Structure 1
């Protein structure tokens, strides 16, 4: 599957810049999330780099037979109306597992947003794990993987550093990206 995924990325002109860390636990934030294509690009990239990631998706997507595919790909259904409980549930997943990588889109949707959700930051901080920033740059056809970023607990200090990584990355539909 890894070689096939690498071939597919190459065939469609995509390149991967950077490497995933050799850590057992971290949050992978992937942005900008502006298109349904992001899931396909992301899953292909996941297999190409030999990773095994889990991702949160709205529970409404987990209907038969799509639920079988989503769960096989690492999907975890969530009720997005209970955001505080979601942070605690994710922290528990990290505490219960020896190896766990959770991919999150900080926008929480493909629709235009004015600002990002901060749950990924709170999960990483409470679970004492790093955040690995990944950008899908459709203009350059690059999947950019940044070095792990360890949250300090001061979101006002840390969040601008996270946003800085994404400033030059162009999503599939750039008009949906918030003005940082």
Structure 2
């Protein structure tokens, strides 16, 4: 049902999905979504994943999972985290991956506003959970959701953080965010 709904909604809003790599890249990974300048990216990304029949989760402020609409947030993959408390998110994510297969959305910018550099948590989560990093991007100029380019677990273990970040920075340069003034293409 979600697969049909995702395809239909993307068609209605005029967006298409471009798969970069094998669809199986989307099964069990840290899904790095950038640029992150608007809430619509999450909705479009969810529709894209649903259209491909893949499970998706996202770590979100727990106020959204505890609110009156929290059942809906949880139904579309929201996992509430109390950000006022010190959390070991890397361990939390590893434990999640040990229980089930899914893709976990991470927006390394951490906000929809301009930031000087990305946070490194997604990298440490992927290394500790032994899952690949997969790129995802919504190009608002072209109305295309790009999914599937992968950095394998072996690459994560043998290449430096700087090499991986340089590859990601080069990749995301081609993407047109909804609000360009809120995007810093220099990510590390």
Contact kept in structure 2, 1:114 and 1:179, CA below 8 Å:
no
In 2, Cα distance between the equivalents of 1:163 and 1:122?
18
Candidates 67, 78, 82, aligned match of 2:81? 78
Matches within 5 A, 1:142-157: 142-150=144-152, 151-152=156-157, 154-157=160-163
Tell whether the 8 Å contact from 1:136 to 1:142 is kept in structure 2 after alignment: yes
Q: Which residue of 1 aligns with 2:33?
A: 30
Q: Any gaps of 5 or more consecutive residues in structure 2?
A: none
Distance 1:83 1:45, change over 3 A: farther
RMSD: 1.9
Aligned to 1:163: 169
Which residue matches 1:139? 141
User: What is the 5 A alignment of 1:65-104?
Assistant: 65-80=68-83, 85-97=88-100, 99-104=101-106
Structure 2 distance, partners of 1:83, 1:31, is 25
Q: Distance in 2 between matches of 1:35 and 1:22?
A: 25
Give the secondary structure class of the aligned counterpart of 1:3.
helix
The 5-angstrom pairing of residues 102-117 of structure 1 reads 102-117=104-119
Q: Does residue 12 in structure 1 map to residue 13 in structure 2?
A: yes
| Deviation, structure 1 residue 176 | 0.6
> Runs of 5+ in structure 1 lacking a partner?
none
Measure, in 2, the Cα distance between the counterparts of 1:152 and 1:124.
Answer: 10
